[in-house]
Amino acid sequence: MNKFSLALILFVSFSCINAQTVVASASKSSSRNLQDAYVELDGSYLENPGIDESTRIYELHTRPISLLQGVITIGFETKIVSNTSLLFDIGAGSSLFDESELVTGMIGVRYYLGAEADQISGNFLSFRHRSRWYSVPPAGGPSLGSGEGLYGANTNFMFGRKIVSQKLSAAAEIGVGRQTVSGITLLLPTWAVTLGFRF
């Protein structure tokens, strides 16, 4: 075998190895690109169609009526499926309405209806439970001994509507709730108003 034939064989062999390396590298690069959350197009970044950013909706909110009464509240709502959200809040303060001092917490769900449901806005049904722990009972309520407290609860079902403009939201709802305090349970009308910031 002359030197020319040997050189030709070596050249072809190295060419095949390089081609296989390029193909393997391209395959790995393509796989990484598919897994990447973003793709570049004309110098700007676009979200990968495989990731649905519309499912990631979060809101911080407060209850203006409670704020006016002297009870500071802050809450959170997040979308958990296409038209349903989980919400909760906590609050504490001295109520100007009934002179009580309390800590309160709420957890619930909202089920949105209609064309705006996927963006957790528009009409909704809500079911939630609120607990209240009183260190000073409402005026006219039972007196408490030293170190004692009073527990109250409100489990309710309501219908409401949320309006979203840019990143701000406002929701109002009304319904009926099972109110319990001092061992007394009543079925009473209930309502709520929340103002929120979406991010």
pLDDT in tens, 107-134: 999 999 999 999 999 999 999 999 999 9
Higher pLDDT, 147 or 134: 134
Contact call for residues 156 and 128 (beta carbons, < 8 A): yes
Distances (CA, A) of 61 to 54, 128, 154: 20, 16, 20
Q: What span, in angstroms and rounded, lies between the C-alpha atoms of 83 and 68?
A: 31
In this model, does residue 144 exceed pLDDT 60?
yes
Highest-confidence range of 17-21, 62-66, 144-148, by mean pLDDT?
Answer: 62-66
Contact call for residues 95 and 71 (beta carbons, < 8 A): yes
* Nearest residue to 164 (alpha-carbon basis) of 88, 58, 55: 58
**Domains along the sequence of the chain with CATH:** 3-47 (no CATH), 53-198 (2.40.160.20)
pLDDT, tens only, 163-184: 999 999 999 999 999 999 878 8
Q: What span, in angstroms and rounded, lies between the C-alpha atoms of 31 and 74?
A: 43
Distances (CA, A) of 152 to 103, 104, 106: 10, 9, 12
Contact call for residues 124 and 110 (beta carbons, < 8 A): yes
Contact call for residues 191 and 66 (beta carbons, < 8 A): no
End-to-end CA distance of the chain: 74
